[in-house]
Amino acid sequence: MNAPRNTQYRHLEVHKIAGSLGAEVHGVDLSRDVSDQALAELRAALLDNLVIAIRDQNMTPAQQLAFARRWGEIHLHPFMEGMADYPEILAIIKRPTDKKNFGGSWHTDQMFSPCPAMGTMLYAKEVPSAGGDTLFTNQYLAYDSLSDAMKTIARQLRTVCVGDNFKSANGLSRKDRYSGQMSEMKVKDPGNVQTTSVHPLVRTHPETGRRLIYIGGHVQHFDGMTDEESQPLIDFFMRQSIRPEHTCRVRWQTGTLTFWDNRCTQHFAVNDYPAETRIMHRITVCGDQPF
């Protein structure tokens, strides 16, 4: 490990993995009852680093669920079917025959919901011999690095976010996109769960109080503006978000549990392991209405 240990922690070892966001955590066993002190340090590590990769875990679905419940209520994905025994857990599976992967474009989870997920935890069950990393952005920096004039413009915009048939998927439904391409990912009908929402482009993080650019692949256009008017600005804010110096990259090992703060990051699952299997167990924790 090259990065120096962050000494503010007593119950965990925390090492940054990039300059702008992301840390590796060692020294905690999530399959046991995590102490309140260790949980408070995990929360501090998450708020400070936005993404924490907790290494060397060995947990059952029930243990992962118990850990997730310490953070809040579980958010159910309106479009994706959970595991038969654990509907709260989504198995993200890519087989050698699958051409596409789940989450293979820049986005933030469930931005189309009125109260999108606060955070997402992915637990690596099986990883390819190389590749299958996940990239993350720091959306605070996407805001902080704007000029004052652009910040003022950004603060007036609201995004219209859609969960299905969205523009970046060429209007194809999830069912049509996933069938045949992601053989083990089951799409369900959301019923009357709301899957279109309007959010402020500049969001204030409810715990840190910091402003950030809240944007991702579900954004269709700005409220009250045409597609043609919106797209150049959407492209600009996306480019600003994914500048290399605003990103980090998590390299998985079997047993890594990565937890990201979905309110202030975007992520991208890299599809670069065509002949191998990758299996993740995913749980999302409920969040608040963005303001």
**Where does this chain bind Fe ion (CB under 5 A)?**
103, 109
Q: What phi, psi does 80 have (nearest 5°)?
A: -115, 135
CA distance 115 to 181: 29
Answer for the pair 84, 186: CB distance below 8 angstroms, yes or no.
Answer: no
- Told to check if 202 binds ligand AKG by CB under 6 A, we report no
User: What is the biggest distance separating any 2 CA atoms in the chain, rounded to whole angstroms?
Assistant: 53
| CB nearer Fe ion, residue 24 or residue 109 | 109
Q: Which does 211 bind (CB under 5 to 8 A by kind): ligand AKG, Fe ion, none?
A: none
State how far the Cα of 113 lies from the Cα of 1, in Å rounded to an integer. Answer: 39
How far apart, in whole angstroms, are the C-alpha atoms of residue 123 and residue 230? 36
Q: Find the shortest distance in angstroms from Cβ 267 to Fe ion.
A: 6
Q: Which does 230 bind (CB under 5 to 8 A by kind): ligand AKG, Fe ion, none?
A: none
280 contacts ligand AKG (rule: CB under 6 A): yes
Which among ligand AKG, Fe ion, none contacts residue 282 (Cβ within 5 to 8 A by kind)?
Answer: ligand AKG
Query: DSSP alpha helices (H): ranges in 172-281?
Result: 174-178, 227-241
67-96 binders of ligand AKG (CB under 6 A): 92
List the one residue from 103, 216, 217, 287 that touches ligand AKG (CB under 6 A): 103
Q: Which of 51, 201, 269, 283 touches ligand AKG (CB under 6 A)?
A: 269
**CA-to-CA dists, residue 130 to 133, 168, 277, angstroms:** 8, 28, 11
- The residue of the chain with the least Cβ separation from ligand AKG equals 103
d(CA 71, CA 66): 10
β-bridge mates for residue 267, sequence order: 107, 136
Nearest CA among 165, 148, 138, 164 for reference residue 77: 164
Q: In b/e form, how buried is each residue of 71-105, taking b as 16+ CB within 10 angstroms?
A: beebbebbbbebeeebebbbbbbbeeebeebbbee
Residue 89 binding partner per list ligand AKG, Fe ion, none, with a CB distance cut-off of 5 to 8 Å that depends on partner kind: none
Least separation in angstroms between CB 258 and ligand AKG: 8
Tell me the window of 102-110, 166-174, 182-190, 236-244 that interacts with ligand AKG (CB under 6 A): 102-110
Q: Under the criterion CB under 6 A, does residue 247 sit at the interface with ligand AKG?
A: no
Q: How far is the CB of 178 from ligand AKG (least distance, A)?
A: 13
Is 203 among the residues that bind ligand AKG (CB under 6 A)? Answer: no
Does position 281 interact with ligand AKG (CB under 6 A)? The reply is no
**109 counts as binding ligand AKG under rule CB under 6 A:** yes
- List all residues 6 or more positions away from 98 whose beta carbon is below 8 Å from its beta carbon: 181, 182, 183, 184
Residue of 132, 134, 133 whose CA lies nearest to 96: 132
Decide if residue 113 touches ligand AKG (CB under 6 A).
Answer: no
Query: Nearest approach, Cβ of 261 to ligand AKG (angstroms)?
Result: 13
Which residue among 93, 122, 141, 161 contacts ligand AKG (CB under 6 A)?
122
